[in-house]
Structures are given as C-alpha cells and as structure tokens.
Structure 1
C-alpha cells in the first residue's frame, strides 16, 4: 500500500497535520559514514508513524529487520550477518 503520510500505520486518517509528511529514512544506519548517508539506494520514505515505530524497534534490538531483494537482512549488525 502506498502511503503519502495522510494515513497512520494502522491505516486510519492521520489527524495530526504535522505528521502528514513523509520522512526520509536510512535503511542501513549511516553512523557518520558519508557514503551511506548520501547513497540513494540507502534511502526510503516512510510515514512518520512507521518511521518512529521502526526506529524504536531498531534501537531496542540494535539492528534493523530490513530485508534486501534477496530476502537477506541488509543491516551488517543483524545476527545473520555476523
């Protein structure tokens, strides 16, 4: 489903107009690495709710669950990549 930010992550109408804008997110956290920071393949857009929820889960675990086209985790910190 394409979300332009007008819906919450639950699919309901976003009531807060400040949260109706998409957020640019780094798929793999750049941690100061300028190559990752500016790499267009490392960028994705998320609605604010998805961004905040994904970041909270990432910070709690220490790695992202994001998968590449091959289905393998893209985060080098993911246990499968260690």
Structure 2
C-alpha cells in the first residue's frame, strides 16, 4: 500500500479560485481521502454537477442535466 494514499487531504468545500476570503475561511475546509479529492471532487468541479444517484437511481444533484 502506498503510504501517501493513507493520509487525508484538506479540501475547500467551495472552490476558492483565488478568492482569499474563501481560501482562508476555516468553515470552508473539509478532509477527504486522496482518491475522493483527486478523482471525484475534481471531476465534480470540472463538470459542475455530481453523478451521485439516489436509491431510485435518479441523480440527486439539482444541477445534474437530468434534473433541469
């Protein structure tokens, strides 16, 4: 097992995109496992919506194109 992958990553809940107020706000921080941060979170930010599905199989994110 790669020891780096066992650590947590500090992530900004709302992407700061250079905004110092968001960057420095401790309420805007969360911890994620490296895989979730490096794959899922970055994909969500690039796409603009989550692919998460509910128990019925329908996307739960209101921003998902299927919910518009």
Instruction: Output the TM-score relative to the length of structure 2.
Output: 0.63
**Contact 1:28–1:64 under 8 Å retained in 2:** no
User: Please, which runs of 5 or more residues in structure 1 have no aligned partner?
Assistant: 1-14, 66-72
Match of 1:18 in 2: 4
CA RMSD, Structure 1 to Structure 2 (Å)? 2.4
User: Please, which runs of 5 or more residues in structure 2 have no aligned partner?
Assistant: 52-60, 64-68
- Matches of 2:21 and 2:50, distance apart in 1: 19
Q: CA deviation at 1:63?
A: 5.4
- Matches of 1:64 and 1:44, distance apart in 2: 17
Match of 2:31 in 1: 45
Going from structure 1 to structure 2, the CA distance change for 1:20 and 1:43 (only over 3 Å counts) comes to same
- Matches of 1:56 and 1:45, distance apart in 2: 17
Instruction: Output the TM-score relative to the length of structure 1.
Output: 0.54
Alignment length, in residue pairs? Answer: 53
| Larger helix fraction of residues | 2
Q: CA deviation at 1:57?
A: 2.7
